[in-house]
Structure 1
Amino acid sequence: MKEFIPTKIFYEESIKKYELGRELLKKYNFIEKESIEAHHKLNIDKDISEFNNIKRTLTIGVRKSIILRKDNKSSDFIVPFTSSGCSARCLYCYLVHNFKLNSNLRIFVNRDDMMNKIIKNINKINRDAVYEIGCNSDMILENSITGNLKWAIEEFSLLKNAKLTFATKFNMVDDLLNINHNGNTKIRISVNPEEIIRKVEFNTCNLEERIEAANKMFRAGYKVGLNIAPIIIVKNFEYIYEKMFIKLYELLDEKLKNNLFIEVIFMTYSMENLNINKINMKNSVNLFIDNKFYEKSKGKYTYKYLYRNEAEKIIIKLIKKYLKNAKISYIV
């Protein structure tokens, strides 16, 4: 995957107090910079037609609020970690709904504060727990800029009753293959049919690159799963998803196929996505076919039971056919 080079950097002056902050300013000394009051208050044109331009920028700041949230799917706790937002432009991205024009990649330089919060939580609960550190970003993408994921994996390798997890659509994993992880990290590779990746998940890695990353991480001793997400009910749904499963069957490491866990997540779409895509991705596919959706919360839509139930049956059938030894962790 081509390295992300921002067109402009917004930064808080306080990052200069941190080694990583100083390193990033030096690393990007050739890029235009603007000092800002706070990472969520960019001095930008708020018109949504500027979305693509803003997505090419990078914001660097200090995370002030670090509150762990309980989870019951991929982890026990969700941790606000070292980044939020992303440089990719997936048409369904929930970060766009949450952050709108502030969904560009934001990096936070105070990683020790986040790790200290995790350790405090570990001591408080006094039991084994899994911590999700990539809920608001893609940690593989961020790691290619900061090295924070490599650092976090090594920090977790020293812990006795805690594991970290994250999902990714990227393949830049080579610097994670020869480090000490002690079996305390589980990676979820996000997959979709190539047709969907190409037309919906812009600026991410293709399916074969993601499978290669899964194999590399598994052979390096990591626990590896697939995050089939988001499932999008499109024309010829079963045909294009079966092609994906055939590719997984053919290319995944044989031992990995016997030790695989799978998460299945159906797409949620929002009016923010729809409005931004109409203006900025004029030739992109329309994901919002209103007769297939119902509003599950204000401005957020998901598939009606009739369509979702049929698609779920197809996905389960394909998993049993091509990845019969895999364990389905959950379906939502």
Structure 2
Amino acid sequence: MSAFQRIIFEKDAMKYKMADEILSKAKEEGIETTFLNSNRYISEKGQTKKDKYFYGKQTMIVGVRKTLKFQTCKPSAHYQLPLVSGCIGQCEYCYLNTQFSDRPSVYVYVNIEEILDQAAAHIQERGELTLFEGAATSDPLPSEVFTGALKRTIEFFGQSEFGRFRFVTKYTSVDDLLQLDHKDHTEIRLSVNIPSVIKAYEHKTPSLEKRIEAINKLIGAGYSVGLIIAPVILEENWKDHYGELLSILDQVLIRKEKVITFEIISHRFTSRAKNSILEIYENTQLPMREEDRKFKYGQFGYGKFIYTETDMASMKAFFQEKLGEMGIAHKILYII
């Protein structure tokens, strides 16, 4: 069953081949389709923010990426690669609640060749290894069955001398990516967490077991892979729970010579995200007591509430120690 109940096509999207492919797939699956007379989808249906949120999460907008100016993407990559924006997941803590709380629909961009041409221009301009992040404001995997955008992108970077691609996902439909000629120029990371966090906060996402199964498939297909443990929530007995998670990963991940990267990200929130979360998930149990946190300005101009220096030092020491005890070849990219 598709994650999308409706697909809406902006006017100019129909000039591109990908739109025809999406439409064909929608008809095959019996998904409701709508064609706009303009290139702007106005808003989600619903009387309340909560109604609009859940309506939008089941809606795909098919459009043309109007600006081809790529944003920077530190520390993950040199540039964002805008293939998709938005995500079907309903994770209560998601940072997209700050950026897209009023427009939660998944936008897919049909002018993939223009986007990749711009990536090629950036690669040529730099003249050295240039890394692009494909999931800075999205999870691009759930829409792949409609768009084929990841397949095309992975093949593009496979033919690029200096271009490299990476993206992160919580989803597990990786089978169509396993036979691609990626030449190890793409790194695919899976976002994982302890089962209690997945159950409580990561609604409409696969289980930890399914995610690990997908990671092992990707390892078997020769991809470089990484794991993002996020958000780390420092609640009661957190060391026991995250220690058990690392033990499971150490036991079940396929052993290869390639290094598995780790990115560890602590829970944080903005005031705007907190307000959206409380409006959409009024009974949320997310720990968002501002008095328990430290306020810090971020790279995008707005502030966020992060754990205190004492808590962060404890978290960093814990993960450095436990990851150091693991038998799989790995590299810690950052703990923040």
Q: TM-score, normalised by structure 2?
A: 0.91
What residue is the counterpart of 1:202 in the other structure? 203
Q: Is the 8 A contact 1:40 1:102 kept in 2?
A: no
Say whether residues 1:52 and 2:54 are aligned partners. yes
Instruction: Deviation per CA, 1:218-271: give whole Å up to 9, x if none.
Output: 111111111112222222111111121121012111226x62221112222123
**Do the aligned partners of residues 269 and 11 (structure 1) sit closer, same or farther apart at CA in structure 2, a change above 3 Å counting?**
same
Which ranges of structure 2 fall in alignment gaps of 5 or more residues? Answer: none
The residue that corresponds to 2:277 in the other structure is 277
8 Å contact 2:13–2:62 — kept in the other structure?
yes
Q: Distance in 2 between matches of 1:309 and 1:37?
A: 51
**Offset, 1:164:** 0.5
The residue type paired with residue 76 of structure 1 is H
Q: Which residue of 2 aligns with 1:26?
A: 24
Deviates more, 1:69-78 or 1:186-195: 69-78
- Give, in whole Å, the separation in 2 of the partners of 1:185 and 1:326: 17
Query: 2:321 maps to which residue?
Result: 317
Residues in 2 aligned to 1:161 and 1:279: alpha-carbon distance in whole angstroms: 45
Between the aligned partners of 2:152 and 2:266, the Cα distance in structure 1 is 32
Q: Is the 8 A contact 2:73 2:136 kept in 1?
A: no
Distance in 1 between residues matched to 2:50 and 2:166, nearest whole Å: 35
> Residue 189 of structure 1 aligns with which residue?
190
Please give the alpha-carbon distance, in whole angstroms, between the structure 2 residues aligned to 1:285 and 1:37. Answer: 41
Show CA shifts across 1:72-115 (max 9, x none). 42222222x22100110111111121121212211111111110
| Residue pairs, 1:132-143, within 5 angstroms | 132-143=133-144
- CA distance in structure 2 between the partners assigned to 1:158 and 1:322 by the alignment: 34
Q: Does 1:131 align with 2:132?
A: yes
Asked whether the 8 Å contact 2:133–2:167 carries over to 1, the reply is: yes
Match of 1:68 among 67, 70, 81: 70
Code of the residue aligned with 1:233 in structure 2: it is L
> Conserved in 2, the CA contact under 8 Å of 1:36 and 1:43?
no
Q: Look up the match of 2:15.
A: 17
| Pair 1:327 & 2:328 matched | no
Alignment partners' CA distance in 1, 2:265 and 2:325: 19
2:268 is matched with which residue?
A: 268
Counterpart secondary structure, 1:102: coil
Q: Residues 21-41 of structure 1, C-alpha deviation per residue, up to 9 Å, x if partnerless? A: 122233324415252634463
Per the alignment, residue 233 of structure 2 pairs with: 232
Superposed CA deviations along residues 184-221 of structure 1, whole A, max 9, x for unmatched, are 11111111111111111111111111111111111111
Alpha-carbon distance between aligned partners in 1 of 2:113 and 2:292, rounded to the nearest angstrom:
45
* Separation in 2, partners of 1:47, 1:129: 43
The answer to whether the Cα contact below 8 Å between 1:131 and 1:165 also exists between their aligned partners in 2 is yes
**What amino acid sits opposite 1:56 in the alignment?**
Q
Most deviating of 34-43 and 82-91 = 34-43
- Deviation readout 1:259-284 (Å, 9 max, x if unpaired): 22211122221233323332332343
Given that residues 168 and 188 in structure 1 are in contact (C-alpha distance below 8 angstroms), is that contact kept between their aligned partners in structure 2? yes
Report if the CA contact (8 A) 1:86-1:137 is conserved.
yes
SS at match of 1:295: strand
TM-score, scaled to structure 1: 0.92
Deviations 1:133-159 (A, max 9, x none): 221111222213321101111111111
Query: What is the CA-CA distance between 1:46 and the residue it aligns to?
Result: 6.7
Tell me what 2:110 maps to: 109
2:161 corresponding residue in structure 1: 160
User: Which stretch of the first structure deviates more once superposed, 194-203 or 290-299?
Assistant: 290-299
Residues of 2 paired with 1:302 and 1:145: CA distance? 37
Other-structure match for 2:146 = 145
Runs of 4+ that moved beyond 4 A: none
Shift in Å, 1:43: 5.7
1:286: how far off? 2.3
Secondary structure at 1:138 match in 2 = coil
Match of 2:80 among 56, 78, 81: 78
Contact 2:10 / 2:62 at 8 angstroms: preserved in 1?
yes
- The whole-number CA distance in structure 1 between the counterparts of 2:40 and 2:314 is 43
Please report how far the alpha carbon of residue 323 of structure 1 lies from its aligned counterpart in structure 2 after TM superposition.
4.7
* Residues paired across the two proteins, number: 328
